[in-house]
Structure 1
Amino acid sequence: MSEAGTAGTPASTGSVLRVPAFRRLWLGLGLSSLGDWLGLLALTAMANQLADGYAAKNYAIAGVLFLRVLPAVVIGPLAGYVADRLDRKTVLVWGDYLRGALFLTIPLVGTLWWVFVVTVLVEAVSLVWGPAKDASVPNIVDPRQLEEANQIGLATTYGSAVPAALVFSLLTVVDRVAPSALGFLDRGAIDLALYLNGLSFIVSGVVIATLHAIPRGPADAHGETTLVAVIWKGWTYVARTRVVRGLVVGMVGAFAAGGVVVGLARTFVSDLGGGDAGYGVLFGAVFVGMALGLWRGPRMLRRLSRRRVFGAALIGSGVVLLVLGAVPHLEIVVGLTVVVGYLAGAAWVTGMTLLGLEVPNEVRGRTFAFVGSMTRLALALVLAVAPLVAGAIGQVSFGPENHAGDPLFHYRGAAVTILGAAVLMVVVGVLSYRQMDDHEGPSLLTDLRRTLRITGTSGLYSDTGCFIALEGGEGSGKSTQARRLQRWLTEEGYDVLLTHEPGDTEVGRQLRSIVLDPETGAISDRTETLLYAADKAEHVERVVAPALARGAVVVTDRYVDSTLAYQGAGRALVDDEVEQIARWATGDLRPHLTVVLDLDPQAGLTRFEGRDRIEQETAEFHERVRSMFLALAAAHPERYLVVDARLPVEEIERLVRERVEPLLTKAARSAPVLEEGRP
């Protein structure tokens, strides 16, 4: 039994964090993650300090990074199996204690070989600790809160890199400005960072030890499938599925290119004249960008299909990385690093979402295991190879000579190798995009231009009555909710008009038969748009405007947003032109509230039999429609309510009522209500 709140309460960040057991686990995770990132910075800085010579420093840093990944490649697939057969609370508590103790020994021993040993041991423990933590979350939150809880955990894991970078940079600045303050330590700020790291793990263990919601004993696992079978089935599924193949190519290639940057970041900063503080700032910039990309990237790119977002973000990150490697100024590099992180974050969260949506449930676990193994393997290889390449390149000079007789362009091995990684990222992005794009609808450039244009805030709102529009894709339940809303409002004594588009006028019914009847066949996209606009003009003039004038509550099933979504995003038409037509047809009359019932198109199209001309369009067409609805809602949240259409009908009705009720102040009560609300 979890300590979560009422099952009927919609999940939110606040509601999840109000669960005492989850709050303690989240605090422990935050401390562990902070220590982990701080430890990575300190270990790479220590390796850089203990090695002698440019090539040796590269190899030492790469050794630390490579050894962080190597255990995942070797024992990663077995970690979940082991975690399920040990007591979870014991794993979490003693895993933190053990990692903390290991980090505390590093400054005491103070040798490079011990840094390598501790890195391997800590990663081995973390591989078991992570699955135990993930498996414990469902035991301490309500099932309805699980998705939000996982998002909080993910944000904490990666977001803690930013304060870790700030702490490390601050310590190095103090060590440089006032070396006597840390003079009692052999390596100053680096040793102090490692001690703080060790203590953060120990405190995390103490916090998690207070948890009582995690069941004692091992989990009940029923995995008869062998490791070899899991890998083989994952490989064969990826090989024969085009979309998943494109995702794997993109994710593995992105990890490889990212590994080059991570492995050479410390040396690259040194080449640009920065020290440990500069390295910390650059490290933090990556994760600031990633956090923004994870949070805002998918929202800003909602008008693109997820498949296009993934490929476009990879290509964009490669192009920006190319500029980053070519610019020899640390300040500019830091700014560009934020952009690279943003695009990488958007690609990462989109790729993971696509894997969850595109891969059938029966092979999803095997596919994730395969992808995880391949990405770690790619990362491990490049972490080992990149410093070797950078060391072998040394220095490269070319171009016309300046006044001193030196070549104009001068790069060291780290920058040249990063430039190579940027080219790899662009190539991978193009290959991934070509594998995943269905080549239907508008071009990628057209879609990208759309992301920069969201509809404006101007418009006319009726001073009398209340205008409510229900929008969403096929099978999302708009008609059901419209009827329920009408019934409730009628019971409350309001004058209610229930209407719909297209087809709720004499002219509209004829237009509806043209645009929706499959026998109509193919018609021009512009013709279709104009037919819908004609229906809207007649609908507003004959039905909506008179009802609002008398103070009625008008509830319409579809309105202008449907035209923007279906004809603007679904067809290869320019958004601005479609919007101008639709707004002109309706006199720019806007609803006081638009309710968007959001549902995966594949799920919506299975809710009914028999499809009209629009419903027969491709899944990608309907995905673009859904993305536009969400983009419109995200642009003006004060005028929209987005509801998950998978919720029970009664729950959706309750959420709609709560949002509609404050808008009824100008609506007329006790007026006669005839059949379907028609005056």
Structure 2
Amino acid sequence: MTAPGRRRPAHVLANAPFRRLWMAMSVCSLGDWLNILALTALAGNLTKGDYRVQSLAIGGVFIAKMLPAILLGPLAGAFADRFDRRLTMFYADLARFAVVLSIPLVGSYQWIIVATILVECVNLFWVPAKDATVPNLVPKEQLESANQLNLLVTYGSAPVAALLFAVLSVAGDVASSLLPMLTGTHATGLALVVNAAAYLVSAFLIFTLRDIPRRDGAISTPSVLKQIVEGWRFVGGNRLIRGLIIGMLGAFAAGGAVVGVAKIYVGALGGGDAAYGVVFGAVFVGMALGMFFGLRLLRELSRRRLFGLSITVAGAVLVAIALIHNLVIVVMLTVLLGACAGIAWIIGYTMIGLEVEDSMRGRTFSFLQSTARVTLLLVVAVANPLAALFGEHLFKVGRLAYQFDGSNLVLIVGGVLATVVGILALRHMDDRKGVPLADDLFAALRGESYQREAEEQVPGLFVAFEGGEGSGKTTQSRLLAIWLRDQGYDVVQTREPGSTKIGMRLRAILLDAAERGLSARSEALLYAADRAEHVEKVIRPALYRGSVVVTDRYVDSSLAYQGAGRALEAADVSKINAWATGGLVPHLTVLIDTPPSVGLTRLGGAADRIESEPLEFHERVRKEFRALAAAAPERYLVVDGTLTQQEITREIQDRVRDILPDPVPQESEDATGTMPAIRD
């Protein structure tokens, strides 16, 4: 008997509500980049004649674009969490349409600055509302793909906008030559009209999107100010989110160094505006390549490790860009720099979307957007003065000469900063301590998992069920075992703790509500002892004879309950359990993700020692389970525990079909003379 084929999930764009939102975001992104190019060009045209005035005018546009984030970013995030997100985006698009359309009509530099600030204020409300809506429109397993598409159009539309601006500029020049009465700002005016039209199209698409969940009355917090404070406190208090945001801000700081001196540096290399445009486009081409091909190439590498590694490599590449005086090589390295940035951003956005509750997601994204813009503003403001202060220097050694200017210094400082932040993020978030990074990376490049490569090969299949109290994992593990037996497989259904004689004694101690004085370290060691006996006496023998082992809890429970719940060092808990199990890892871990506020109400009878812990304990446990799944998505199936029992069962069966071996006759277990495991 062969296992039936698993149905391939539909592409994320087959989801009609998400597709409409994605189309709206695509035209908005195109309009945003066209807006930057048109406004900076218009500011330069209006201040021709004085190089310093022109430079300050263009810089003023960038400062005006980033300044509103300092004050309005957190407020906008709270707004996205409190009010109807569809209407928020719709009215924001209409406001942007009206303001942008007014710029070529007024035609003064002062109004450019005012209009830029107004547009950016509106953007601060549009972006967190969009980011917080995406996880509500797509299934969890498609969130990474959705974020890939979102970030692709966010940054991939930049070269398209540059090309469109060039075409509109040529059209404007031709029109000016044919009609001398047209001013020199005709091309930028035409680009701004197209920009305004893009916002109007987005408004129409958003208005017709009726599937965005309403937020009216969904948040019980009575004060907007209190919501903002909660969002900031949440980011600072969550270790994983804090690590993600530190890493992403470090990447932004390095990017700010590039933005600040790129024009000067390209000019020093002998390139003009065309070369500057090529370097500008190379960054975003690299980001698109990194978002799609980088993650696919390294799909077996832990997402947490890949996040820190990509930022570290980006810093090293930036240092190389600063030291190499060859424009062609600089362009190629810039593509690599963009690829590293793309990988880091898609991972960061995906993990934040998975880890942050819907009620806090808007404020978290807004906090990231605001602090990123402030970081970029500060770096851009410091970069050019630092480069000017350092000046130009020509170093000679014999016949060899090397030009090292202030722009080189700024790029090196940015590269070193990114490298340090990447290393810190890697150390802060590493979820595979003890596994050599180089070996892990080379195995991922071969399309393999280092941990699996090192494991012994067994003929059986190992499936573990994880989840919080009352999640339904015990029921689902039993239903899967029954289904597999009906398919003709030899199944060993087991649990932790308590599937061996010694394990039963340990279970009595571990779950006894009277054992309140048990220390966290002792608890972790007792669970590891039960697991060592469980693997040695039940799991490994069953796998070697070709059985399918279905266990209710395994190593992840210790990482979640003792690591996060009891606040023990995750590396210590991981090492203890790796030694206890001999490195045996399930082929598939099914996480039934149920909010503790729901799961705890399902429990019947007297609560045991773990069940009676406070809600905050169970919330930490749930977040750690989700973090473990997000770090190795290829080995996990995350199922929404609030679905009906039938829906959960169907999702699990669909995934398990894909990894099932050929069935082993049921008599094989009896023929070995081995006692079956204790069943639930």
TM-score (norm 1): 0.67
**Residues 73 and 538 of structure 1: CA distance in aligned 2, closer, same or farther (over 3 Å):** closer
The match for 1:98 is 98
Structure 1 residues 89 and 647 mapped into 2: Cα distance closer, same or farther (>3 Å)?
Answer: closer
Aligned residue pairs: how many?
618
Deviation of 1:570 after TM superposition, in Å, equals 6.5
Q: Take 1:452 and 1:95, find their aligned partners in 2: how far apart are those partners?
A: 50
Q: 1:93·1:205 contact (CA, 8 Å) conserved in 2?
A: yes
Cα gap change, 1:193/1:536 in structure 2, threshold over 3 Å: closer, same or farther? farther
| Counterpart mapping for 1:110-121 below 5 A | 113=110, 115-121=112-118
- Residue 161, structure 1, aligned to residue 172, structure 2: no
How many angstroms does 1:67 deviate by? 1.1
What amino acid does structure 1 have at the position aligned with 2:383? A
Moved more, 147-156 or 423-432: 147-156
Query: Structure 1 CA distance, aligned partners of 2:18 and 2:432?
Result: 45
Distance in 2 of aligned mates of 1:601 and 1:222: 21
User: Do the aligned residues in 2 keep the contact of 1:42 with 1:193 (CA within 8 Å)?
Assistant: yes
Q: Distance in 2 between matches of 1:190 and 1:545?
A: 71
2:498, 2:506 within 8 Å by CA — same for their partners in 1?
Answer: no
Q: Which residue is 2:564 aligned to?
A: none
Q: Work out whether residues 561 and 629 of structure 1, in 8 Å CA contact, stay in contact via their aligned partners in 2.
A: no
> Does residue 203 of structure 1 match 2:201?
yes
Please give the alpha-carbon distance, in whole angstroms, between the structure 2 residues aligned to 1:663 and 1:208: 40
Q: CA deviation at 1:631?
A: 7.0
Matched residue, 2:442: 452
Structure 1 counterpart of 2:481, from 472, 481, 486: 486
Partner of 2:464: 471
Change (3 A) 1:578 1:173: farther
**1:306-351 CA distance string (max 9 Å, x none):** 4x66655544433322222222223322333333334444444555
The Cα of 1:114 is off from its aligned counterpart by 5.2
Aligned counterpart, 1:414: 407
1:313, 1:344 within 8 Å by CA — same for their partners in 2? yes
Q: What aligned pairs does 1:632-643 form with structure 2 within 5 A after superposition?
A: 634=634, 642-643=637-638
Shift of 1:165: 0.9
- Higher mean C-alpha displacement, 190-199 vs 668-677: 668-677
Partner residue in 1 for 2:329:
332
User: 1:559 and 1:87 mapped to 2: Cα distance?
Assistant: 44
Q: How does 1:278-677 map to 2 (within 5 A)?
A: 278-291=275-288, 300=298, 306=304, 312-348=309-345, 372-402=369-399, 408-429=401-422, 436=428, 442=433, 446-447=436-437, 449-453=439-443, 454-455=449-450, 468-471=461-464, 473=466, 480-490=475-485, 492=486, 494=488, 496-500=490-494, 543=542, 554-557=548-551, 571=574, 594-598=587-591, 609=608, 634=634, 642-644=637-639, 646=641, 648=643, 649-660=645-656, 667=663
Q: Is the 8 A contact 2:245 2:368 kept in 1?
A: yes
Equivalent position to 1:122, from 101, 119, 123: 119
Asked if the contact 1:473/1:597 (under 8 Å) is kept, the reply is yes
SS in 2 for 1:471: strand
SS in structure 2 of the partner of residue 72 of structure 1: helix
- Larger mean Cα displacement after TM superposition, 334-343 or 143-152: 143-152
Q: Which amino acid aligns with 1:162?
A: G
Query: How far is the alpha carbon of 1:145 from its aligned partner?
Result: 5.1
Consecutive unaligned residues in structure 1, runs of 5 or more: 1-9, 584-589, 612-618, 635-639
Unpaired stretches in structure 2, ≥5 consecutive residues: 1-6, 444-448, 511-517, 561-569, 611-618
Does the alignment pair 1:36 with 2:32? yes
Shift of 1:658: 3.2
Matched with 2:563 is none
Q: 1:365 to 1:270 in 2, by over 3 A?
A: same
How far apart are 1:98 and its partner, in Å? Answer: 1.5
Report the alpha carbon displacement of residue 91 of structure 1 after superposing the two structures with TM: 0.8
1:67 aligned partner: 64
| C-alpha contact 1:161 1:284 (8 A) present in aligned 2 | no
SS at 2:433 equivalent: coil
Whether contact under 8 Å (2:73, 2:367) holds in the other structure is: no
Q: Deviations over 1:14-72 (max 9, x none)?
A: 466543x5544432221111111132234345556665576555434322211111123
C-alpha displacement of 1:666: 5.4
Letter matched to residue 225 of structure 1: S
Q: What is the correspondence of 1:12-91 to structure 2 with a 5 Å cutoff?
A: 14=11, 17-19=14-16, 22-45=18-41, 47=43, 51=48, 58-79=55-76, 84=83, 88=88, 91=91
Cα distance in 2, alignment partners of residues 672 and 276 from structure 1: 74
Structure 1 residues 420 and 672: CA distance shift in structure 2, 3 A: closer
Amino acid aligned to 2:97: Y
CA gap 1:166/1:373 in 2 versus in 1, 3 angstroms: closer
| 3-state SS, counterpart of residue 325 of structure 2 | coil
Contact 1:72 1:376 in 2 (8 A): yes
Identity, in percent, stands at 30
Q: Note if contact 1:321-1:419 (Cα within 8 Å) is conserved in structure 2.
A: yes
Aligned equivalents of 1:433, 1:311: Cα separation in 2: 4
Q: Deviations over 1:572-593 (max 9, x none)?
A: 5999x999x879xxxxxx99xx
Alignment partner of 1:452: what SS? helix
* Contact 1:502 1:512 survives alignment (8 Å): no
Q: Do 1:24 and 1:211's aligned partners in 2 also have CA atoms closer than 8 Å?
A: yes
The 1:481–1:399 alpha-carbon spacing in structure 2 relative to 1, beyond 3 Å, is farther
| Whole-angstrom distance in 2 between the partners of 1:216 and 1:366 | 16
Cα separation, 1, equivalents of 2:355 and 2:632? 25
CA distance in 1 between counterparts of 2:595 and 2:219 reads 32
Q: Distance in 2 between matches of 1:256 and 1:145?
A: 33
Aligned partner of residue 436 in structure 2, secondary structure: helix
1:470 Cα deviation from its structure 2 partner: 0.7
Moved more, 495-504 or 199-208: 495-504
Distance 2:215 2:535 in 1: 65
Pick which of 338-347 and 666-675 moved more: 666-675
- Determine if contact 1:314/1:426 at 8 Å carries over to the other structure: yes
Tell me whether 70-79 or 177-186 shows the greater mean CA deviation. 177-186
SS at match of 1:31: helix
